[in-house]
Amino acid sequence: MQEEYVGIGAIDSIRTILERSGAKRIFLVTGAHAYDSSGAAGLLKRILADREICRFSDFTSNPKIEEVVGAVGALRAFAPDIVLAVGGGSAIDIAKSAAILSAQTGPLESYVKGEKELSAGGPPVIAVPTTAGTGSEATHFAVVYIGPRKYSLALPSMLPAYAIVDSQLLASVAPALAAATGMDALSQAIESYWSVRSNDESKTYAEQAITLIKKNLVAMVRKRTDEVCLAMARGAHLAGKAINISRTTAPHALSYPLTAHAGIPHGHAVALTLPAIIRFNAQVDEGSVADSRGLSHVRSTLSSANSLLGATDAEDAASMIESLMDAVGLERRLSVLGITGGDIPSFVKELSLERLANNPRRMTEEDATRILTDIL
Ligand SMILES: [Fe+2]
C-alpha cells in the first residue's frame, strides 16, 4: 500500500515521513534543472538540512539502460535508507528502477529484458512529481530503453511507498512541457478507461482524471492559476492510479518508436495517434473485439469515454483531441516532426504486438501502418 499526500503544501509531509522512518541517508534522484526551477530545492532545504544526501542527476529524458545502471551503482555505493525522487517521469522511473535493481543479484540488463524475474527489495521510494504528468508516482512499473527498444520493469513492490503530489511545484513548468505531459495524462486516463484490463476501481479513477484534465489543460498551458495547477496535479495522479491497474493501450504502444527514433517527447508522441485510435476503436466489431467482456461492453465503454470528453461520438471526440492539441501548441503531423513514410515500416516492426493486447479492438501491423500513415 502507498501513502499518498495530495495538495498544496503536501511536500511538507516529507519531514514527518523521514522522522517517522528514521531515515538519515537519502539518495536524491532529480533532474538537472527541475529540482531548482520547480521550487522543490527551496521547499526541501530545511527538511533535508541535517541528513546525508547523495544527489544523482546523471540522466536525460526517457530512461536509458546506461543511466539506470549508473544510478544503481551510485545507489549501492551510498547505501541509503530511503530514495527521494523529485522530477518528471524520467526521474521517478529511474529512481524506481534503481531501487529495485539495487537489490537483485544477476546482471541488470537481464531483469530489464525479462530474462530474469525481479524479487522484492531495495530502499523505499518517496516520489514527488514536478509535472502533471506521467503518473509514475502512482504506478508499479518503470520504462527503460535499451537502444531504441522500450522495456518495462514491473513488480507490485515497485509502487513508491510514498507519493507526494504538491501542485506548488507545477507553477513554473514551461508551457511546452505542460502541454506534452498533460496530453500524456489525458491519454493515459482515456486508454485506461477503455483498456481490456480495466475494472470498476480503475474506471472511477480514469473518469475523474478525464474530467479534471479536459477542463484544465488549456489553462495549465496558457494561463495557469493555483486552482488549475491543483486540478491538473490531481488529474495526472488519478490517471496514474488508473493505469497502475489497467496499463495503457495502443496510443502508448505506437508512441515508443516515435520517441526513440525522432526524439518526440513522450506525451506528444502519445497524443499524435490518439485521435486516429479513437476513430479506429469505434469500428470494433465481433471479429475484432479483444475484451473478454464482449462487444456490447466495449461499445458502451467507448461511448461513455466520448461522453466524458463532452463529445457526442467518436468523430467528435477525435476532433476534440485534435483541437486540444492545436490549442496547447502540439504539432499533429509526423512529417513536420521529421518522420517520413519510409520510417514507418521499421517503426511497425519494432512494435511489440503483445503490448497492443490491452487495446479493446485488435490491431494488426497493417492497422498500425495505416494509422501512422494517416498522420504523416
Ligand atoms: Fe504515458
Q: In angstroms, what is the span from residue 228 Cα to ligand 1's centroid? A: 21
Alpha-carbon gap, residue 30 to 93, rounded angstroms: 11
The DSSP letter of residue 122 is: S
**Residue 334 to residue 342: CA distance in whole angstroms:** 12
Q: Is the pLDDT of residue 5 over 70?
A: yes
How many whole angstroms from 107 Cα to the centroid of ligand 1?
27
For CATH 3.40.50.1970, the residue range(s) in the chain are 3-170
* Segment 89-96 mean pLDDT: 97
Q: Compute the distance from residue 280 Cα to the ligand 1 centre, in Å.
A: 20
Query: How far, in Å, CA of 263 to CA of 145, rounded?
Result: 13
Q: Calculate the alpha carbon distances from 311 to 5, 198, 303, 314 in Å.
A: 33, 21, 9, 7
How many Å lie between the centroid of ligand 1 and the Cα of residue 135? 8
CATH 1.20.1090.10 domain span(s) along the chain: 175-374
Give yes or no for residue 355 having a pLDDT over 90: no
C-alpha cell at 102: 539495487
Phi/psi at 30 (5° precision): -155, 150
Q: What is the pLDDT of residues 106-158, one digit of tens each?
A: 999 999 999 999 999 999 999 999 999 899 999 999 999 999 888 999 999 99
As a whole number of angstroms, the distance between CA 307 and CA 234 comes to: 21
Spacing of C-alpha 157 from chain mean position:
18
Answer yes or no: CATH 3.40.50.10480 is held by domain 3-170.
no
Match 507526494 to its residue by C-alpha cell. 164
Helices (DSSP H) in the chain: which residue ranges?
13-21, 34-37, 40-48, 65-78, 89-101, 108-112, 175-194, 200-222, 226-246, 250-262, 266-282, 295-308, 314-327, 344-350, 365-374
Q: How remote is the CA of residue 185 from the centroid of ligand 1, in Å?
A: 7
3-state secondary structure of 344: helix
Cα(270) to ligand 1 centroid in Å equals 7
* Residue 303 CA, ligand 1 centroid: distance in Å: 23
Ligand 1 centroid, distance to 266 Cα (angstroms): 7
pLDDT of residue 28: 98
Confidence of residue 1 (pLDDT cuts 50, 70, 90): confident
pTM: 0.97
pLDDT range class, residue 6, cuts 50, 70, 90: very high
**pLDDT classification of 354: cutoffs 50, 70, 90:** low
| Cα 241 to middle of ligand 1, angstroms | 12
Domain 175-374 architecture = Up-down Bundle (1.20)
Ligand 1 centre to CA of 50 (Å) is: 36
